[in-house]
């Protein structure tokens, strides 16, 4: 993409997010958009581009990420952005079958199936993400090293992301972000949005782990911001492959975590 088109896209993004931030009626939503504006400014500076007028340093922390102890959630890295006023898009593909060998995830079978059916995210993919994020511990809560906020629940969602998803999908999400049904559904909705944005499950997983702004469309192993776990996509695909084959999930990934 040419530099001038990048700047044009970011100018539109900044204007849009500034308007949404100023129109927000609650602190969580306001902080969500303020954090996106701050990350846009940081990213443009890292790219050697001048930040469009209107981007000012945020007074609130950057949003926490979905991966425990890892990246911050961020806006998108191109001129095309999801409409955050709209509800999550309707599923375009089937949810697939769910493994009969879920192990410690068995108590959440119905919740996983319901989220897969509602969003079109493959059921075994959801289970694989849950396994990597929390090992099926619904009370899991981890302080994110990037921003000091808490990622919570089976799919390790941050409060700002959850509040945004709930505002657009009130019929699917309740008030308790750590409730397994709510947490799994919200994680599925977020994955669905990333798949809609990037058109590929591996890139959607990179966005889930490192933030949408970190995605390099040409290579899911790259995090353009350096946030996240380098082999996150590999790990989730490994777990999904085991689930697809009906095999038991191991306690951890054989190669461990590889960080940027």
If you average pLDDT over residues 17-39, what whole number do you get? Answer: 73
Same domain, 155 and 44: no
Same domain, 48 and 94: no
Query: What are 137-193's pLDDT values in tens digits?
Result: 999 988 766 666 789 999 999 999 999 999 999 999 999 999 999 999 999 999 999
73 found inside a domain: yes
250 found inside a domain: no
Query: What are 42-99's pLDDT values in tens digits?
Result: 766 665 666 655 544 444 333 334 443 444 343 333 333 444 444 444 444 445 799 9
Same domain, 37 and 139: no
103 found inside a domain: yes
CATH of the domain at 149: 1.10.530.10
The answer to whether the beta carbons of residues 107 and 177 sit under 8 Å apart is no
Same domain, 20 and 114: no
Domain boundary residue, one of 60, 83, 101: 60
- 237 or 255, which is more confident: 237
- pLDDT at residue 13 greater than cutoff 80: no
The first and second tokens of residue 160, run together, are 């700002």
Q: What is the pLDDT of residue 83?
A: 46
- pTM, two decimal places: 0.67
Q: What is the pLDDT of residue 246?
A: 97
- Domain extent, residue 37, equals 1-60
Number of structural domains the chain divides into: 2
Same domain, 128 and 176: yes
Same domain, 12 and 73: no
77 found inside a domain: yes
Nearest to 65 by CA among 169, 152, 125: 152
172 found inside a domain: yes
Query: What are 124-147's pLDDT values in tens digits?
Result: 999 999 999 999 999 998 876 666
CA atoms within a 13 Å half-sphere pointing along the CA-CB vector of 242: 21
221 phi and psi angles, rounded to 5 deg: -85, -10
- pLDDT at residue 37 greater than cutoff 60: yes
Same domain, 43 and 71: no
Same domain, 196 and 75: yes
253 found inside a domain: no
């Amino acid at each position: 993409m040419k530099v001038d088109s990048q700047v044009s896209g970011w100018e539109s993004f900044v204007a849009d997010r500034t308007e949404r931030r100023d129109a927000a009626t609650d602190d969580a939503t306001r902080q969500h958009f303020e954090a996106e504006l701050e990350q846009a400014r940081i990213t443009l500076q890292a790219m050697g581009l001048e930040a469009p007028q209107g981007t000012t340093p945020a007074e609130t922390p950057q949003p926490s990420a979905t991966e425990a102890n890892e990246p911050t959630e961020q806006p998108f890295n191109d001129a095309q952005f999801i409409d955050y006023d709209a509800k999550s898009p309707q599923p375009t593909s089937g949810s697939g079958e769910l493994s009969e060998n879920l192990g410690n995830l068995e108590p959440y079978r119905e919740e996983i199936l319901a989220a897969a059916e509602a969003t079109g995210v493959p059921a075994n993919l959801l289970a694989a993400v849950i396994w990597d994020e929390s090992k099926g511990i619904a009370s899991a809560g981890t302080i994110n090293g990037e921003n000091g906020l808490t990622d919570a629940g089976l799919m390790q969602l941050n409060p700002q992301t959850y509040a945004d998803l709930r505002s657009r999908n009130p019929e699917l999400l309740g008030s308790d972000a750590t409730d397994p049904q709510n947490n799994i559904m919200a994680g599925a909705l977020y994955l669905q949005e990333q798949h809609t944005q990037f058109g590929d499950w591996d890139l959607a997983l990179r966005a889930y782990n490192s933030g949408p702004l970190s995605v390099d469309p040409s290579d899911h192993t790259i995090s353009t911001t350096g946030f996240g776990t380098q082999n996150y996509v590999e790990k989730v695909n490994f777990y999904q492959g085991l689930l697809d084959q009906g095999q038991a999930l191991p306690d951890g990934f054989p190669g461990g975590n590889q960080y940027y």
